[in-house]
């Protein structure tokens, strides 16, 4: 009996040692990971983190951009969706005499773009130049209900610093911190330039026109008829239309009266534009007219590439119906500078100046 009791006591003591060791390792691992995150600080948010270079190593623009906007390196900003991401800030800096950050996000909602602008304005005051890449999101009748896409981290864009720390401790941030270590060891490269610019489309050497055509026209059997006017909207129809995001656009431009403001309808392929002669085209025209009026009210230059033009009717300019190729992006940047700074009209009809 005594030997059995001693054996049970030893077994119990062994389990206690095992549980204690397990807890020590677990708690130590958690604290070590937390300290690793705080010291590496991959999003440049912690005031006592290590004084090291922090390039953009996150694969998500939504998580990477706040550190860019807080950095103080930029006085001007581009917001938009993926249709504006290929605009290179370095092409605009000289003509606008500014330092641009391109904060456009893939598949962004209008609310995400407005929130990005507001974050920049709160941390850097009014931008010297604001460029908004206009696309369908601004004319979405459900924009106020469909505000967040693809895990937009609202906590990173508010003014509550305490909730930032609460959200840092997760496996995703730990992975980004490890990538930052890999960058400094030469094992991992930055995902984009610090001004946000990244060529996210495939290499130009991989371009295949036949494949691009299939992607462009996948939803359409044939090309639209040109110059067919949309059916007129009645006054009742017009009053019933909801474009809730335009209230945010109006507020955005009203907050920065001394800023140079540019609203640029991005040149999506005609296959992605409203079909001429349809009600959708009438709704698109009405929304575009309201955006033009907002721009005019606030002294913004409104430039429209979202038309049938030598750019948008040429399949070879696009990877798919939304995303143009890099040479077209470079052309759009040049034309944007000419139109916004000099008020130059397009000699080839690739864009229209809606306000001057």
| Per-residue confidence (pLDDT) for residue 211, from 0 to 100 | 95
**Which of 214, 181, 190, 155 shows the shortest CA–CA distance to 52?**
181
Name residues whose C-beta falls within 8 Å of residue 346's C-beta, 6 or more positions apart in sequence: 335, 339, 352
The domains located in the chain, with CATH, are 54-165+191-353 (3.40.50.1110)
| Per-residue confidence (pLDDT) for residue 29, from 0 to 100 | 65
Copy the structure tokens of residue 158: 């508010």
| Per-residue confidence (pLDDT) for residue 23, from 0 to 100 | 73
Q: What is the pLDDT of residues 313-346, one digit of tens each?
A: 999 999 999 999 999 999 999 999 999 999 999 9
pLDDT at 247 over 70: yes
Q: What is the mean pLDDT of residues 204-231?
A: 80
On whether the CB atoms of residues 60 and 112 are closer than 8 A, the answer is no
On whether the CB atoms of residues 249 and 132 are closer than 8 A, the answer is yes
| Per-residue confidence (pLDDT) for residue 3, from 0 to 100 | 61
Name residues whose C-beta falls within 8 Å of residue 67's C-beta, 6 or more positions apart in sequence: 43, 44, 45, 54, 56
Q: Report the distance separating Cα 301 and Cα 340, nearest Å.
A: 6
Whole-structure pTM value: 0.89
Residue where the block lists tokens 């299939």: 214
| Per-residue confidence (pLDDT) for residue 71, from 0 to 100 | 92
Treating both helix axes as pointing N-terminal to C-terminal, what angle do 279-297 and 245-254 enclose, rounded to 10 degrees?
A: 20
pLDDT at 92 over 60: yes
Q: Report the distance separating Cα 81 and Cα 102, nearest Å.
A: 10
Q: Report the distance separating Cα 287 and Cα 293, nearest Å.
A: 10
pLDDT winner (highest mean) among 49-58, 150-159, 267-276, 297-306: 297-306
Question: How many degrees, rounded to 5, is the angle at CA 37 between CA 31 and CA 39?
Answer: 100
Backbone phi and psi for residue 204, each to the nearest 5 degrees, phi listed first: -60, -30
| Per-residue confidence (pLDDT) for residue 18, from 0 to 100 | 66
Task: Work out the pLDDT band at 170, boundaries 50, 70, 90.
Answer: confident
- Listing DSSP states for 287-308 in one string gives HHHHHHHHHHHTT-EEEE--SS
**Which of 262, 254, 259 shows the shortest CA–CA distance to 343?**
262
DSSP letter at 318? B
| Per-residue confidence (pLDDT) for residue 186, from 0 to 100 | 87
pLDDT at 349 over 70: yes
pLDDT at 190 over 80: yes
Question: Residue 352's beta-bridge partner residues?
Answer: 304
Residue where the block lists tokens 């003591």: 13
Name residues whose C-beta falls within 8 Å of residue 123's C-beta, 6 or more positions apart in sequence: 69, 70
Residue where the block lists tokens 């990971």: 33
- Listing DSSP states for 208-258 in one string gives -HHHHHHHHSTT-SSPPPTT-PPPPPPHHHHHH---THHHHHHHHHHT-TT
Copy the structure tokens of residue 78: 């581009």
pLDDT at 230 over 90: no
Residues above pLDDT 90, as percent of the chain: 60
pLDDT at 222 over 70: no
Copy the structure tokens of residue 180: 């930052």
Residue where the block lists tokens 């991401």: 85
Q: Return the beta strands (E) in 88-237 as ranges.
A: 100-102, 129-134
Q: What is the pLDDT of residues 3-47, one digit of tens each?
A: 665 456 556 666 677 677 767 776 676 666 677 677 778 888 888
pLDDT at 220 over 60: yes
Q: What is the pLDDT of residues 55-88, one digit of tens each?
A: 898 878 999 999 999 999 999 999 999 999 999 9
Residue where the block lists tokens 């604290």: 31
Mean pLDDT of the chain: 89
60 versus 260: which is more confidently predicted? 260
């Amino acid at each position: 009996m005594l030997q059995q009791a001693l054996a049970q006591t030893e077994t119990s003591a062994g389990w206690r040692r095992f549980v204690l060791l397990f807890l020590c390792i677990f708690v130590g691992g958690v604290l070590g990971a937390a300290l690793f995150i705080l010291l590496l600080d991959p999003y440049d948010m912690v005031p006592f983190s290590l004084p090291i270079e922090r390039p953009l190593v996150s694969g998500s623009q939504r998580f990477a951009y706040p550190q860019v906007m807080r950095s103080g390196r930029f006085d001007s900003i581009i917001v938009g969706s993926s249709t504006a991401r290929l605009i290179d800030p370095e092409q605009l800096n000289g003509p606008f005499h500014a330092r641009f950050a391109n904060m456009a996000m893939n598949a962004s909602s209008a609310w995400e773009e407005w929130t990005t602008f507001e974050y920049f304005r709160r941390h850097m005051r009014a931008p010297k130049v604001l460029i908004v890449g206009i696309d369908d999101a601004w004319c979405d009748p459900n924009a106020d209900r469909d505000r967040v896409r693809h895990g937009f981290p609202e906590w990173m864009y508010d003014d509550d610093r305490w909730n930032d720390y609460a959200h840092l401790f997760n496996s995703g941030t730990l992975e980004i911190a490890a990538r930052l270590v890999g960058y400094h060891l030469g094992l991992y490269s930055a995902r984009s330039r610090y001004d946000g610019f990244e060529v996210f489309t495939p290499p130009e050497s991989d371009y295949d026109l036949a494949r691009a055509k299939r992607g462009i026209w996948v939803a359409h059997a044939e090309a639209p008829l040109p110059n067919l006017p949309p059916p007129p909207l009645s006054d009742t129809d017009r009053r019933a239309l909801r474009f809730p995001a335009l209230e945010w656009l109006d507020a955005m431009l009203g907050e920065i009266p001394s800023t140079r403001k540019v609203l640029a309808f991005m040149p999506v392929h005609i296959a992605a534009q409203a079909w001429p002669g349809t009600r959708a085209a009438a709704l698109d025209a009405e929304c575009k007219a309201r955006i033009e009026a907002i721009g005019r009210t606030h002294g913004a230059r409104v430039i429209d590439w979202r038309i049938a033009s030598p750019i948008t009717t040429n399949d070879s300019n696009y990877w798919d119906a939304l995303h143009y190729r890099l040479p077209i992006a470079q052309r759009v940047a040049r034309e944007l500078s000419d139109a916004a700074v000099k008020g130059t009209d397009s000699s080839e009809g690739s864009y229209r100046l809606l306000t001057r």
